[in-house]
Amino acid sequence: MHFLFKSIRIRFIALSSTLCLVGLSLPVYAESPVSYMPIILVESPVSDSPKVVSEFGVEGEAEQWSIHEQATYIVQQKNNFNSPYYAQNSLINKSEGGAGKSYTLSATAFLGARLWEGAEIYLNPEMFEGTPFNGQLVGLGGFQNGELQKGSYAPPIYYIARAFIRQTFGLSGSKEHVEGGPNQLAGNMDKNRLVVTYGKFATLDFFDQNSYSHDPRTQFQNFALFSMGAYGYAADSKGYTYGVVTEWYQGDWIFKAARLAMPTIPNTAQLDYSLTKDYGNQIELTREHQLWGEHGAVRVLSYQQHAFMGNYQNAINQGQQTNNNPNVMTVRQAAQSSWGYGLNIEQGINDDIGIFGRWSWNPGKTETQTVDISRSLSGGLSIKGSNWSRPSDTVGIGYAVNGISSSQITYLQQGGMAPFIGDGALSYKKEQIVETFYSAKVYKDFFISANYQHIANPAYNSARGPVNFFGLRAHLEI
């Protein structure tokens, strides 16, 4: 493990120095509201839902602008798992030349300002560097590091991750005070309100949120645990999209609806900014509640995709006619549709323990725009370290089981390559994932996490694996 700690130390000395210089050179006024709510775990640094720190309005000037920064480094290695055969979309083991490590390094600045009453603007410049195992993000249904969605880049690249404007319309009623944070200015707002957001952001900034599992930079890292695995959300090759989101907050209810841009070619960088040809629609209804005196929430989501995609059955038919392996990319057509739904729950048990669960499904007839999962069931718990005098530490334990559709199974058995999986053959069995992590607060807002993942039947193939991933994560917020 020595190389892991050495690599983290070298990268974070340079990165932390840069971020500190940025922060010190740009002083900013910010309120310091006091929260009496228990801190369950390291919080997601990007969340559209504001953190309420008082059920009543607080006198004083609202935060007019803010600057926050984050940096996250994740490094992982895997065991030399069983692999009797492999193809171009297989996860490669050590004996086949896949002995290298996988890592990601991201750094983000969260810049925000208040424009006029109820209006806020945000800009998130971001740097990213990293690579999947063997340089390709392939071989799993639920990938082991959510940051890998941003691609494979070394040396690092620089881009604007988010650039959006948010307008809040108060609908009367009592006020509540929200805490300032990344992409959220501190201040008072109506409990009943309408919020419209327009610009560039990530779909998961708004949808499928969960207090205990939502952000791979601070919580669970596997795609099938920090999000609904079968949720085909809109995203370019770096995980971001463009569009409009409307939210209606009414007491304990939250309703969200959005139209978001999808890539003009699946899993590429070019989005359809017209929002009329390649797009995704989604709605989500949330009911917050108190159970056993602890906060909980139930979220129901439905989405539709309308885009340029290939159909697996069409590819199978074409392969039989030409006596070739099926290829979904050769049967792509415009205006193809897919849809899906999901259920997302969270519940606090006490001040130290919270549980979560997700179920999601899509028909799996067309190639994916996110990961190769057609149905997914996941759940787990988060425990903070108060009982061992480490209240800012967090232990997470999660489990997920993923599956794919019958048409995609047949396609893979006939030697087809899906966007992210394809071993040249398939002995189908559901993919099973166990993930556990320990996040330790080292100093102020600097956390080090140890992570372990066990994945049986990788890419739904019982002939290969299981795969064990061992990793470390360093996360800094300023």
pLDDT digits (tens, 9 = 90+) for 356-397: 999 999 999 999 888 999 999 999 999 999 999 999 999 999
Asked if 269 and 238 count as a contact pair (C-beta separation under 8 A), the reply is yes
* Per-residue model confidence (pLDDT) at position 94: 83
Residue 6 parent element (H or E): helix 2-25
Question: How far, in Å, CA of 186 to CA of 164, rounded?
Answer: 18
pLDDT band at 37 (very low <50, low <70, confident <90, very high): very low
Helix (H, G, I), strand (E, B) or coil at 238: coil
**Dihedral, CA atoms, 273, 279, 285, 286, nearest 10 degrees?**
-60
Instruction: Tell me the per-residue pLDDT of 313-364, one tens digit each, with 9 for 90 and over.
Output: 999 999 999 999 999 999 999 999 999 999 999 999 999 999 999 999 999 9
pLDDT band at 99 (very low <50, low <70, confident <90, very high): confident
More confident residue, 341 or 23: 341
* Per-residue model confidence (pLDDT) at position 425: 96
**pLDDT, average across residues 27-39:** 30
User: Within 205-302, where are the H helices?
Assistant: 223-226
- Among 11-15, 129-133, 280-284, the minimum mean pLDDT is found in 11-15
pLDDT surpasses 70 at 45: no
Instruction: Tell me the per-residue pLDDT of 169-202, one tens digit each, with 9 for 90 and over.
Output: 999 778 888 889 999 999 988 999 999 999 999 9
Looking at the chain, the whole-number percentage of residues with pLDDT higher than 70 is: 87
* Per-residue model confidence (pLDDT) at position 52: 53
The DSSP string of 52-82 is: EEESS---SPPP-EEEEEEEEEEEEEE----
pLDDT surpasses 60 at 33: no
Question: How far, in Å, CA of 41 to CA of 397, rounded?
Answer: 13
More confident residue, 152 or 435: 435
Query: Any residues with CB less than 8 A from the CB of 26 and at least 6 apart, and which?
Result: 67
pLDDT band at 119 (very low <50, low <70, confident <90, very high): very high
Query: Any residues with CB less than 8 A from the CB of 265 and at least 6 apart, and which?
Result: 308
* Per-residue model confidence (pLDDT) at position 123: 97
For residue 463, report the phi and psi dihedrals to the nearest 5 degrees: -75, -10
